[in-house]
């Protein structure tokens, strides 16, 4: 991968966001086959990107808009220190309720 560290990590952050939001959608629509197929493709793209980043930047950590991201030494998964808890409003929008940080 011939891009800088920040670009690679922003791509990972975006891919992680897509997976997270797709899982939330699938929680409410578990039989939606198009969404499930989208999740499978997004997960494959995420895994490929993560492998490329791990190969290029094995010791990297990043503080981005969604919190601190590091990599698990055991299996290379992205590890975050912050979880964002949201709730649905009457008009169907999502609002931040709280965030929890792991120490």
CA 44 to chain centre: 13
* CA–CA gap between residue 24 and residue 18 (Å, rounded): 10
Token pair in block for residue 90? 């009457």
Please give the chain's pLDDT, 103 residues, in tens: 446 777 887 888 899 889 889 989 998 998 999 999 999 999 999 888 888 877 776 666 666 555 666 666 665 566 665 555 666 677 766 666 666 565 5
Neighbours of 90 (CB within 10 A): 5
CA 29, 37, 56, 54 torsion-angle sign: positive
Within 8 A by CB and 6+ apart from 70, the residues are: 60, 61, 62, 78, 79
């Amino acid at each position: 991968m011939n891009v800088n560290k920040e670009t690679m990590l922003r791509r990972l952050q975006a891919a992680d966001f897509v997976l997270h939001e797709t899982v939330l959608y699938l929680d409410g629509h578990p039989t939606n086959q198009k969404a499930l197929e989208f999740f499978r493709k997004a997960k494959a793209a995420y895994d490929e990107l993560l492998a490329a980043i791990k190969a290029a930047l094995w010791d990297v950590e990043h503080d981005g808009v969604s919190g601190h991201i590091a990599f698990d030494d055991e299996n290379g998964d992205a590890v975050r220190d912050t979880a964002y808890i949201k709730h649905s409003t009457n008009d169907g929008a999502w609002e931040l309720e709280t965030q929890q940080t792991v120490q």
